[in-house]
């Protein structure tokens, strides 16, 4: 429990657009995009990301779990999309 609180405290805030690009780099494809949200899928996993300027750290943690990615995989996907 304590480690989850520490992780939540140190998660950087990123935009929903950057998070969608990171999941796309990790192999997810955009299933549906609306003004309010984007739904991505990979196999049997689906992740719905609301469109906003900045995602909170707790939301990023939940979306990462829903996507089935480790912290290392998410960090590598985010690092790969920084140049775009």
- Per the rule left: phi > 0, alpha: psi between -120 and 50, beta: everything else, 62 is alpha
Residue written as tokens 């719905």?
A: 48
CA dist., res. 39 & res. 50, Å (int):
9
Q: Which domains does the chain have, with CATH numbers?
A: 2-81 (3.30.920.30)
Query: What pLDDT, in 10s, does the model give residues 5-22?
Result: 334 455 677 899 999 999
Query: What pLDDT, in 10s, does the model give residues 12-61?
Result: 778 999 999 999 999 999 999 999 999 999 999 999 999 999 998 888 98
CA dist., res. 7 & res. 24, Å (int):
23
pTM: 0.80
CA dist., res. 42 & res. 69, Å (int):
11
């Amino acid at each position: 429990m304590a480690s989850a609180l520490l992780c939540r405290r140190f998660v950087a805030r990123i935009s929903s657009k950057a998070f969608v690009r990171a999941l796309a780099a990790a192999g997810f494809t955009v299933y549906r995009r609306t003004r309010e949200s984007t739904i991505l899928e990979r196999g049997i996993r689906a992740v719905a990301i609301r469109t906003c300027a900045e995602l909170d750290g707790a939301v990023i943690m939940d979306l990462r779990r829903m996507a089935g990615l480790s912290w290392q995989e998410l960090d590598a996907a985010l690092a790969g999309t920084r140049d775009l």
